[in-house]
Amino acid sequence: MRLPLVPAALAAAVALAAPSLATGQGAPQTIQLTKVDVVKVSTGYRASKVIGSSVVNDAGDTVGKVDEIIVGPDGKAPFVVLSVGGFLGLGDKLVALPYEQMRTDGKKIVLPGATEDSLKALPEFKYAS
């Protein structure tokens, strides 16, 4: 006698929960989409190709290596995390800079005016846990 009540009770629970689930999400949101020039975007640099690349100064001296690219909390300003100093990943220091300070010259990533010592003098960057 109890078995027929189980499906009915389940159906009633779902029916009662459905309105609260729909209103619990708040008002529907809309997103403003913007068209981009896909040809122009396709000529840019992919993060997966930039990460691990050496960074050189104006004189062509290697001053660091790109460890990561981070989008700022505002969602707009990207930052680059550079690994400087050390040897084969040992004894290196991570520093963060606005990506806009760097430029590209062909396939080279250039940080004008930088030296390894000037980068080592910057505050150490640590990833948030």
Q: d(Cα 93, Cα 118) in Å, to the nearest integer?
A: 12
Global pTM reads 0.68
Q: d(Cα 70, Cα 44) in Å, to the nearest integer?
A: 16
Report the candidate in 86, 87, 80 with the shortest Cα–Cα distance to residue 125.
80
pLDDT over threshold 60, residue 24: no
Question: Strand ranges (DSSP E) for 1-129?
Answer: 54-56, 62-71, 78-84, 93-98, 103-105, 108-110
**pLDDT, tens only, 66-118:** 999 999 888 888 999 999 987 766 778 999 999 999 998 888 899 999 999 99
Q: What is the pLDDT of residue 111?
A: 94
> What residue ranges do the domains of the chain occupy?
38-120
Q: d(Cα 25, Cα 21) in Å, to the nearest integer?
A: 7
Please name the CATH architecture into which domain 38-120 falls. Roll (2.30)
